[in-house]
Amino acid sequence: MRDLKQLVKAYDVRGVVPDQWDENLSRAFGAAFVQVTGASAIVVGHDMRPSSPSLSRAFADGAAGYGADVVLIGLCSTDQLYYASGSLDLPGAMFTASHNPAEYNGIKLCRAGAAPVGQDTGLSEIRELVESWTADDDTVTVPARDVAPGALSEQDTLRGYADHLLGLVDLTAIRPLKVAVDAGNGMGGHTVPTVFDGLPIDLVPMYFELDGTFPNHEANPLDPKNLVDLQAKVREVGADLGLAFDGDADRCFVVDERGEPVSPSAITALVAAREIARARAAGEAEPTIIHNLITSWTVPEVVQELGGKPVRTRVGHSFIKQEMAVTDAVFGGEHSAHYYFRDFWRADTGMLA
C-alpha cells in the first residue's frame, strides 16, 4: 500500500508519478479537499509538467463530485494561482513539483485569500481522509455524496495577475534596464512576458519554452550550477541584472551586472527597506518584517536600523504566511528566494513586486 505520509509533506503533496500517486489518487485529494474545507467553489491551476493537466483535471473532477464548482485557470505560476485565490476569494490547488525533476509532481493547497494549508491547517486531515478511502491494493474508492455535482468553468487570470503585481509598486521612476531572465523552461516563461509588457525593460529571454522535461538544466536556481548560463548571458549582453526562476516561478534568484549571484538575504533586506519606508509613510510606527531561521543576521539589523520590527520564523511558506497574518507583517523573505507581501495576500511570489 502506498505510504501517504511519504507523499504528503509538511505543507504540500509531492511525489513521483505514477509510482507514488496518479489520477485516481488526485481525484480523491480533490474530494477530500472539498470535504475538509467545506468549499462550495475552488480554483485549480497547473504548471508545464507532462503529468500536470491530467492530474489537475482529476482533482477538479473529484472536487466537483463533492459538490464544488471549479474554476480552471490552466497553465499558471504558483503565485498566479495565489492571485486567483485572493482575487476570487476561493480555496485553490496548484499542481506543481516546483524545482523537483520531471518525474515528480505535487499539489500546493490554500484556503480562500491564499491562506496556507499545511499539516496543522488541514493537510493532515486531507491525508487521513484519503487514507481511509485507499485499500491495501492501492485502489481508491471515493464514497459518493448525495449532492448535485459542481460545474467546471475556465478563466484566464494572467493579465489580472500582472496588473495586480504592477499595482504594488510605483513605476513612475523606473529607468530603462536590460534584464536577462532564465525561466529554466518553467512557468516564468509564461508569466514574465506579460508582467514586463509595457515596462522600459529590454528583456533577454532564456529557456522560455514551456517544457516539463527541463531539457537545458533543472529549474532549481538554489543550485549554483543552474545559474551558470544566466551568469554568462548577463556578461555577454551587458545586462543590468539577471533573474532565474524555479519551475513554478515562485522563487527568483538575482544575478548582478557582473554576473555574480546576489544573496537572497541581501534581496530580503533591500526589499524590506522599501516596504518599511512605504509603511512608515502610511503611518505605521514599526512595520514588521518576517525572516526565517537561516537568513543572514544582516536582515534583522537592517530592519531595526530603519525602524522596523524583525520577527524570525520557521522555514517553509505555510509557517511564514501564518506568522505574517498573526503579526500583520508587511513583507517576508527566505534564504531560498521566496518573498512574501502583505498586499499580495501574504503569498509567496517570485516577482519581487
Q: Which residue has the cell 515562485?
A: 250
Pairing relation of β-strands 288-292 and 331-333? parallel
> Is 85 marked active-site?
no
* 44 and 92 Cβ atoms separated by less than 8 Å: yes
Choose, from 56, 98, 318, 336, the residue flagged as catalytic: 98
Burial call 132-145: b when 16+ CB within 10 Å, e when fewer: eebeeeeebebeee
**Polymer length of the chain:** 353
Distances (CA, A) of 233 to 45, 220, 244: 32, 18, 12
Left, alpha or beta for 246 (phi > 0: left; psi -120 to 50: alpha)?
Answer: beta
DSSP code of 141?
-
User: Quick check: 46 and 17 in contact, CB under 8 A?
Assistant: no
- State the DSSP code for 70: E
Which positions are annotated as active-site residues?
Answer: 98
